[in-house]
């Protein structure tokens, strides 16, 4: 079962849902599609995660995508907020992303602090594309 289905059932009971959105298994088109699906279901609290690097999968042949990292995913969700507002949706995504400077024992798809500031100058948490 997809965690999004379980999240929508919890959301239907009136509880808040924080979706853990990882970049590992989807390309940017897939991530945009999933984000719009989550918005349509009303689940807009997003914890943007890069995801763990793993070479596992079917027969040990699975390869992660990592088209985005959590910082760029947060920026994409900010841009999608513009589209949601233009379509008349009063609520945009509420996003958060952890910031890890370096993991020397694993591949590090995370950008540097300079890149984070360039992509999201308001810091780790963001709510509106205009920085309100």
**How much is the average pLDDT of 123-127?**
44
Largest CA distance in the chain: 48
For the full predicted model, state whether its pTM sits above 0.75.
no
Under a CB-based contact definition with an 8 Å cutoff, are residues 45 and 94 in contact? yes
pLDDT in tens, 26-72: 889 999 999 999 999 999 999 998 887 766 666 777 777 778 888 88
In this prediction, residue 123 carries a pLDDT of: 44
Q: Which residues pair with 22 in a beta bridge?
A: 49
pLDDT in tens, 1-33: 688 999 999 999 999 999 999 888 888 999 999
């Amino acid at each position: 079962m997809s965690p999004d289905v379980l999240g929508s059932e919890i959301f239907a009971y009136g509880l808040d849902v924080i979706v853990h959105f990882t970049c590992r298994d989807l390309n940017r088109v897939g991530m945009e599609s999933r984000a719009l699906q989550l918005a349509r279901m009303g689940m807009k609290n997003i914890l943007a995660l890069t995801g763990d690097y793993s070479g596992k999968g079917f027969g040990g042949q699975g390869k992660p995508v990592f088209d985005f990292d959590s910082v760029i995913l947060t920026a994409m969700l900010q841009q999608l907020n513009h589209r949601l507002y233009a379509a008349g949706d009063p609520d945009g995504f509420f996003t958060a992303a952890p910031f890890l400077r370096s993991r020397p024992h694993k591949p590090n798809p995370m950008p540097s602090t300079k890149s984070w500031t360039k992509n999201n100058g308001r810091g780790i948490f963001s709510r509106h594309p205009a920085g309100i």
